[in-house]
Structure 1
Amino acid sequence: MDISTTPTDSSATAAAPPRSRSRIFPWVVFGLTFGLMLSDYMSRQVLAAVFPMLKSEWGLSDSRLGSLSSIVALMVGLLAFPLSLVADRWGRVRSMLIMATVWSLATLLCALATGYGQMLGARFLVGVGEAAYGSVGAAVMLSVFAPRLRASLSGAFLAGGSFGSVLGVALGGVVAAHIGWRWTFALMAGLGLLLVGAFRILITESDLRRHTFAESPVTGEADAAPTGNAVRAPLSSLFSSVSVWCAYIGGGLQLFVAAVLMAWLPSFFNRSYSLPTDRAGLVASGYVLLIGTGMVGCGILTDRVGRRHPARQWSSALVYCTISLILLTVAFSLRTGPVQLTLLALGALTAAGSAGATSSMVATLTHASLRATAFATVTLANNVFGLALGPLVVGFLADHYGLATALRLVPLTYLGAIAALAVGRYTYPAGLRRLARWDMASSAA
């Protein structure tokens, strides 16, 4: 497999791919990267479905059970940036194949574990494999589509995490109940390895290069023909403008609430609605599906409103945050009942609605040669400000004030996201000009 980042065979790059393949190939890339995103989160979250069995069979404490889950998030947070940088320099397709193979084989090791220590080591390897997939996969997927589709595709890709989580828990619970918990991990591992094989056959680095859109540094729009990236941007360009900082921070803060909903809604329905554990989890999974559906729908809407005026993507993100702030604040202030459940459902639809928009903003404000590393920075911000921090903060507040009170305070996080996004919207033109000046200076050199 050719892993270079610039074309070396002029005859290969000069010949354009067949028209039909040119149209189909981007969607093949999307389908396989999305499928691997599902596999990523199914392998990560299937553990929750077998917690009771592991606790009973191995006599584990809740803290040890929690560590089996948190070790994956810890590795993702620590390794996403360096591994994405390696993928940008070494080859994104090969890196993705290695990542997916590592997390799939590590998931198979989970099935073979005979105790806590072995399971912890296997979960550590799951986190290592999954660490940079979200950023590298997003970079590969977006590279073969026109920029006008970025928010839609980013939202759909990120929603794969929500859908994968639901599938992992639901399917894992059914399989574990019928044929044992070890088979749940074996099933997830097999799915991942099948997708790796399909990706290896259908997508190569050279194919990806031929279908990559070249972008104008000023508008972010694609040129007439695809090309490779010959110029490498310095890492400092990832943080070269106020607007891109605001996109990182605003995107992370808007996921704070979504992360809390995914982690704590089962407990909320169990305690506030007196639902048994299985029914509480089932009801909560419906709200998680709404979060994922909203990410897709809001991404599509963002692309429509920003097609002619990309700056409107910032405005759409601000609208989604404002809607969720109002709906969720009111919902958690009401008594239990149908009205509260309805408002929670509506708020869940926009809870992570700006995820696609903020990813698209980062893609526009950073150089294409560092696209995977830019998305790794997005992943880092999402974990630091949202996915890891949210459930932890709510757990601390719930210990002191009760879960219902803690959840009433959670939507206030949107105020920080709104402030960051508003500043980013104001400084966006300056961020584009800074990127354009750097690109022209590096090209001249």
Structure 2
Amino acid sequence: MANTRTALWVIVVAQFFGTSLWFTPNAVLPGLADTWGVTTEDLGRLTGSVQLGFIIGTLAFALSGLADRWRASRIFLVSAVTGALTNGLFALSPSLEIGLALRFVTGLCLAGIYPVGMKLVASWAPEKKGLVLGWLVGMLTLGTAFPHLMRAISPGWGWQPVVLASSVLAIAAGLMIARLGDGPGLPATGRFDWGGVIRSFREPRFRAAALGYFGHMWELYAVWALAPLLVAASLGPLGSDRTLVSVTAFAFIAAGTVGCVLGGMLSRRIGSARVAFGALWVSGLMCLLWPWFEAVPTWLAVILLLVWGMAVIADSPQFSALAAEAAPGHAVGSSLAIMNSIGFLLTVFAIELTANYWQSLGTGVTWLLVLGPVLGLLALLPLCRDR
């Protein structure tokens, strides 16, 4: 069996590789526009399709207890390989309609990568959840940003190779986790517990963490989905440079990796609840003020984007750590899955709302996201007082 340090590095790298499947259409929007005539509204549909697939997948895992019955490493392997296949077929699909269906199935597969990865981390280092989940979600963030970087460094490739590169990484992720196996902390229960996970919401601390997470999710994926548009608007005359926009969008999202890691380290000192509260406060403030930042110099706008990118995801691993601590020991995987499922359901509405109003409101769509951080902060207050 691998030692804990090695195991954690394998998991976080595999998470980076596996989650590179998530936002490939957003990274190659110009190519999709040339090939299929994709508009901003269509981009919202593509993103919403993968989110919907993820929601249904996590809901099935949670309500069936599957995430706690079968070995997490096996679920991760099957999900990563299948997701790689559907993502590859997306690159070869002849139309937007078929692409939407394939993105939905990719979302189903991601339900066996992201929350299952969190369970794997908990099984190897249960005593350091806030720290190691910071690394894990940081790798998810880097994986989300990676297609933007691929798009920037391969302007002559077309959009299909960028998508296929994510499939190759996902296959590598599945093989890495299959070789590693599960940790000793959370063995599979060997039984189904249909609906038993709902009992987690009776725990006040789990309920507070989940409600804070839901407020955070209303903002997060809408901001990531709009990243190329927000970046182009911030760059002024330089916003027409596709390569520059891709590089900056990568930096914007990838800055969250730093935020997650720093937040995980800070959680060891002040607790996960306070780290989550601070990050959510900063990201909510950026949503509120961003439409007024269009007039600032480009260099300052880029710095503010990086700050926002760090804050917008830094709270996510801490919400997961708080939830994992409060959930019943036999249902950690299912509890995290149901929390993810509800949170990602909210992202579908937020993404559709902001994508549909972008043409009329421009960067003012960020005002539509402010409510999430506000409600999340209110939910977190009791947990902050306890620590």
TM-score, length-scaled by structure 1: 0.74
Q: Structure 2: which amino acid aligns with 1:199?
A: I
Match 1:156 to one of 102, 110, 135: 135
Distance in 1, Cα, partners of 2:368 & 2:89: 40
1:302: Cα distance to partner?
0.9
Matched residue, 1:322: 281
**Structure 2 residues not aligned, in runs of 5+:** none
Do 1:331 and 1:341's aligned partners in 2 also have CA atoms closer than 8 Å?
no
Matched with 1:438 is none
Give runs of aligned pairs for residues 80-99 of structure 1, distance below 5 A.
80-84=58-62, 85-99=65-79
On the 8 A contact 2:84/2:166 being kept in 1, the answer is yes
* 1:78 partnered with 2:48: no
CA contact (8 A) 1:49 1:173 kept: no
Matched, 1:258 2:220: yes
Matched, 1:244 2:206: yes
**Which residue identity is paired with 1:203?**
L
- Residue of structure 1 equivalent to 2:109: 129
Aligned to 1:203: 180
Displacement after TM superposition at 1:366 (Å): 0.7
> In the TM superposition, what is the alpha-carbon distance from 1:142 to its structure 2 partner?
1.3
Q: What are the residue-to-residue correspondences of 1:218-297 with 2, within 5 Å?
A: 234-272=196-234, 273-274=236-237, 275-278=239-242, 279-297=244-262
Counterpart amino acid of residue 271 in structure 1: A
Contact 1:255–1:351 under 8 Å retained in 2: no
Q: Measure the CA separation in 1 of the matches of 2:50 and 2:131.
A: 28
Letter of the structure 1 residue corresponding to residue 230 of structure 2: F
Per-residue deviation at 1:324? 3.8
Q: Is the CA contact 2:354–2:368 (under 8 Å) kept in the aligned structure 1?
A: no
Give the aligned partner of residue 264 of structure 2: 299
* Residue 26 (str. 1) matches residue 4 (str. 2): yes
Q: Which residue of 2 aligns with 1:216?
A: none
Q: Which amino acid aligns with 1:394?
A: T
Cα distance, 1:317–1:47 mapped onto 2, change above 3 Å: closer
Rate the CA distance shift 1:124–1:394 in 2: closer, same or farther, 3 A. Answer: closer
Deviation at 1:179, TM superposition (A): 4.1
Matched position secondary structure for 2:125: coil
- Residue 174 of structure 1: how far off its partner (Å): 4.0
Q: Which residue of 2 aligns with 1:170?
A: 149
Give SS of 2:332's match: helix
User: What is the letter of the counterpart of residue 40 of structure 1?
Assistant: G
Give CA-to-partner distance per residue, 1:372-410, whole Å, 9 cap, x none. Answer: 11111221233134x33433333455455x223333564
Q: Work out whether residues 254 and 414 of structure 1, in 8 Å CA contact, stay in contact via their aligned partners in 2.
A: yes
Contact residue 31 and residue 158 of structure 2 kept, 8 A:
no
2:311 to 338, 346, 350: 350
Displacement of 1:260 in angstroms is 3.6
For 1:56, give the aligned amino acid.
D
Matched residues in 2 for 1:43 and 1:124: separation? 12
> What corresponds to 2:35 in structure 1?
57
Secondary structure in 1 matching 2:23: helix
CA gap 1:358/1:105 in 2 versus in 1, 3 angstroms = same
Which of 343, 353, 359 aligns to 1:382? It is 343
Query: Could you tell me how far 1:339 is from its partner in structure 2?
Result: 4.6
Higher Cα radius of gyration = 1
TM-aligned CA distance change 1:368 to 1:283, over 3 Å:
same
Instruction: Give yes or no for the alignment of 1:119 onto 2:99.
Output: yes
Q: Which TM-score applies when normalising by structure 2?
A: 0.84
**How many pairs does the alignment contain?**
378
Q: How far is 1:48 from its partner?
A: 2.9
Q: C-alpha separation between the residues in 1 aligned to 2:277 and 2:315? A: 8
**Alpha-carbon shift at residue 99 of structure 1 (Å):** 0.8
Inter-partner Cα distance in structure 2 for 1:252 and 1:102: 28
Give percent identity, aligned residues only: 16
> Is 1:336–2:314 an aligned residue pair?
no
2:370 pairs with 1:393: no
* In 2, Cα distance between equivalents of 1:156 and 1:204: 19
Higher helix share: 2
Task: Report what 2:382 is aligned to.
Answer: 423
Provide the C-alpha distance between the structure 1 equivalents of 2:287 and 2:31, rounded to a whole number of angstroms.
34
Unpaired segments ≥5 residues, structure 1: 1-20, 214-226, 307-312, 430-445
Q: Distance in 1 between matches of 2:84 and 2:292?
A: 43
Return closer, same or farther for 1:267/1:121 CA change in 2, 3 Å cut-off: closer
Letter of the 1:212 counterpart: G
Q: Conserved in 2, the CA contact under 8 Å of 1:110 and 1:119?
A: yes
Q: Tell me which residue corresponds to 1:435.
A: none
Q: CA deviation at 1:266?
A: 2.7
